Amino acid sequence: IDQVIRVRSSAICSILREETSQKKSFTGQNQPPGQITDHDTYLSHPLLKLLAMFSSSSSSKPKDAKPSQGAQASSKDGSNIRKGGTPTPPSPIVGLRYCALPTAVYYRLYTTHGAIKSNNPIYANDQFISRTLARLITPPHTALLVKNHLLKTEGFARTTPCTLFESLIKQTAVEDNSTRLSIKDRSGPGLSEDDPVAIVVEVQDIENRSASTGQPKDLPDANLREPLYYRIYDSDGALASRASFDRNDDFLGRIDTRSIAPPHAVASLEAYIRSAERVPANSTIQMFKNTSGETLMNDGILPLFSQDFAGSIEDEPIAVVCEEALVLVNPRFSKTIKVNITFRPSDANLPLWLPITAGDTLYTDLVRKKDIVYIGGNQSCNGYIAINSAGQEGCKIFLLLLFQAGRNNIQ
């Protein structure tokens, strides 16, 4: 400690500038290397906290205080000696000036269906969290002014309807004008990426969102968040999950709990899983606390940030049961195409060539297959393997080979 506290402020700031230059993205834009300000009040660096502890005692004397009768004089070794008294030790910090990092406000963006990517991500593997500088938000930092700034930062019009939550664990949104957020206080909202503020917009407003003008490069990776595990079923049994992560178990899905929109109602979890697994809107879903199916998850608030919640253990996932039979969609078919023609193959070709209808949505990997034979045709064709999401009668293996000649009729 003695070696640390005797370092002059210029050296300390050099260390902090070197660290800061490695993080070029505070708001999605490149910061000038080493930009550290002297007037922000939040001490986020451990070294600054230590220095502040020592400097507080030495700077507590009022500026207008008059010298006492025992005037001080400096000795050769730098210690202060009172006349007629004992030497006092030198100040532990020589020439220290206040040097704090800018206060950041972390936030996550949601629709009612779940988290959406930020236009200004700060992590390569978690593009749903971002941050802005508190000093860029218009005073007096009411909820409305905070929302206006975040909407503008994320490419939304300021008139976009939205709600703001001070924390992911809050169950009630803040009111626009009656609530002032202490975003520059040490205990204010959004000061940690583990407890960001949340802003929720309507799904239909995504279409009017402006695209990002550019993405920072070489972003670091975020730590793995607390996951929620689930299995999805229809009346015929388990289905391969689109959120699978285990090569030996395609039926186990995993999602980030921070992907679920506040206030974390069961309905919000259902909406997220329905969207992630592409469950039709007209399909009824039941969710159970575990795969035994004994306890239904009623429409309440989920304690997703407690130590123990339904689905928090990999061996005890929740069960999502769709009452209607669903078409099994292989997760690798992630590309969607829209059909604007109607085609029905002959009976001899139905085992391989499945019928399609104008307006149907297909899922494909867009990998071209060559020399596909159509029985009764004059020559073989090139095509693509795709999945018919409607699951019409006759789709025995749920595969559809599209004519290469008909690719122009597919959007």
Query: What average pLDDT does the segment 93-120 reach?
Result: 77
Q: Left if phi > 0, otherwise alpha if psi is -120 to 50, otherwise beta: which for 274?
A: alpha
Q: Which CATH architecture has domain 104-208?
A: Roll (3.10)
SS3 258: helix
With 0-12 CB in 10 A as exposed, 13-18 as middle and 19+ as buried, what is 60?
exposed
Helix, strand, coil share of the chain (percent; to 5):
15, 25, 60
Q: CA 163 → CA 19, 191, 364, distances in Å?
A: 35, 19, 37
What are 79's two structure tokens? 């210690």
Indicate whether 30 pLDDT > 50. no
The mean-pLDDT minimum among 75-84, 190-199, 307-316 falls in 75-84
Residues in CB range of 206: below 8 A, 6 or more apart: 111, 116
List, in sequence order, every beta strand (DSSP E) within 257-360. Answer: 285-288, 318-322, 335-338
Span 129-166, pLDDT tens digits: 999 999 999 999 999 999 999 999 999 998 999 999 99
Of 310 and 411, the structure prediction assigns the larger pLDDT to 310
SS3 152: helix
Question: Following CA atoms 299, 304, 309, 314 in sequence, which dihedral angle do they give, to the nearest 10 degrees?
Answer: 110
Which phi and psi angles does 186 have, rounded to 5°? -70, -20
* Cα(248)–Cα(62) distance, integer angstroms: 69
The pLDDT of residue 306 is 82
The mean-pLDDT minimum among 9-23, 96-110, 293-307 falls in 9-23
The pLDDT of residue 314 is 95
DSSP 396: S
With 0-12 CB in 10 A as exposed, 13-18 as middle and 19+ as buried, what is 20?
buried
With 0-12 CB in 10 A as exposed, 13-18 as middle and 19+ as buried, what is 76?
exposed
Amino acid at 334: S
Other C-beta atoms closer than 10 Å to the C-beta of 275 total 15
What are 155's two structure tokens? 């490419």
Give the largest CA-CA distance in the chain: 116
List, in sequence order, every beta strand (DSSP E) within 222-274. Answer: 227-234, 237-238, 244-246, 249-256
**CA 136, chain centre distance (Å):** 21
* Cα(136)–Cα(31) distance, integer angstroms: 14
Is there a common fold for 104-208 and 227-322?
yes
Residue pair 25/120 in contact (Cβ under 8 Å)? The answer is yes
What are 154's two structure tokens? 């994320």
Q: What is the CATH number of domain 227-322?
A: 3.10.20
Of 68 and 338, the structure prediction assigns the larger pLDDT to 338
Q: Which CATH architecture has domain 335-409?
A: Roll (2.30)
Residues in CB range of 200: below 8 A, 6 or more apart: 110, 111, 112, 162, 163, 164, 165, 173, 261, 262
Of 292, 338, 349, 333, the closest CA to residue 316 belongs to: 292
* Cα(40)–Cα(28) distance, integer angstroms: 20
Span 188-241, pLDDT tens digits: 899 999 889 999 999 889 888 988 776 667 888 887 678 999 999 998 899 888
First-to-last alpha carbon distance for the chain, in angstroms, is 67
Indicate whether 56 pLDDT > 70. no
The pLDDT of residue 403 is 43
List, in sequence order, every beta strand (DSSP E) within 155-248. Answer: 162-165, 197-201, 227-234, 237-238, 244-246
* Cα(42)–Cα(158) distance, integer angstroms: 29
Please list the residues that pair with 237 across neighbouring strands.
Answer: 234
SS3 110: strand
Indicate whether 275 pLDDT > 70. yes
Query: What average pLDDT does the segment 364-392 reach?
Result: 60
Amino acid at 205: D
Indicate whether 310 pLDDT > 70. yes
Domain boundaries, the chain: 1-57+91-102, 104-208, 227-322, 335-409
